[in-house]
Each structure stands twice: as structure tokens, then as C-alpha cells.
Amino acid sequence: MGDPTIIITAITAILTSLGIKEIWNIIKTRNDYKNQKEKHDEYTKDSLTAKIITELRDKIIELEEKIDSLIQENISLKEKLARMEERFLFSPKKKSNKP
């Protein structure tokens, strides 16, 4: 066939003329961009998740406060009802004077 040195030199010349190094740089840049975009997407998802968790936590706290206030209101209404029942039971009954 030929001298291996000549073949290697020819292949090297062809690869160099095709700009393999430039092609590699383009591929590397594209992969770096994809990785950077994925990291940015993950950060966006994480920050969005954190925001939603914070909002839900705030809503839970508000609901707990509302529940506590409703429990207190319920207790006070039960006390009022008990006093009204007590007054009703111990109030003099009107007698009807109908013949």
C-alpha cells in the first residue's frame, strides 16, 4: 500500500482541512449551552417550588388562625346559649287566663 507515515500525514492534512478542531469546539459549545440551560431550568423549578411552598405555608398559618378564632367564637356562643337556656328555665312562666 504505501508508507504508513505518508498515510498518517495525509489523514492529518485532511482532518485539519476539514476543521475538526472547529467542529469539536462547536460541539463543545453546544453541549455547554445545553448544560447551562438545564441548570438554569433546575434553578427556576427549585425557586418556583420554594415560592409555592412558602405561599402554601402562609395559607396554612392563616387557616390555623381562622380555625382558632372560630373555635373561640363557638365557645362563646355555647356559653351565651347556656345562659339563655338557664334564663328560660328559671324565668316565671306566664299563665294564660283564657276560659
pLDDT confidence of residue 40: 83
pLDDT confidence of residue 99: 54
- The sign of the torsion formed by the CA atoms of 74, 77, 83, 86 equals negative
- DSSP letters spanning 10-56: HHHHHHHHHTHHHHHHHHHHHHHHHHHHHHHHHHHHHHHHHHHHHHH
Query: What pTM value is reported for the model?
Result: 0.49
CA dihedral 84, 88, 92, 94 (to 10 degrees): 120
Q: What SS3 state is found at 74?
A: helix
**Domains in the chain: boundaries:** 4-88
At 28-82, the pLDDT tens digits run 888 888 888 888 888 888 888 889 999 999 999 999 999 999 999 999 999 999 9
Which of the pair, 14 or 35, is modelled with greater confidence? Answer: 35
Confidence of residue 1 (pLDDT cuts 50, 70, 90): low
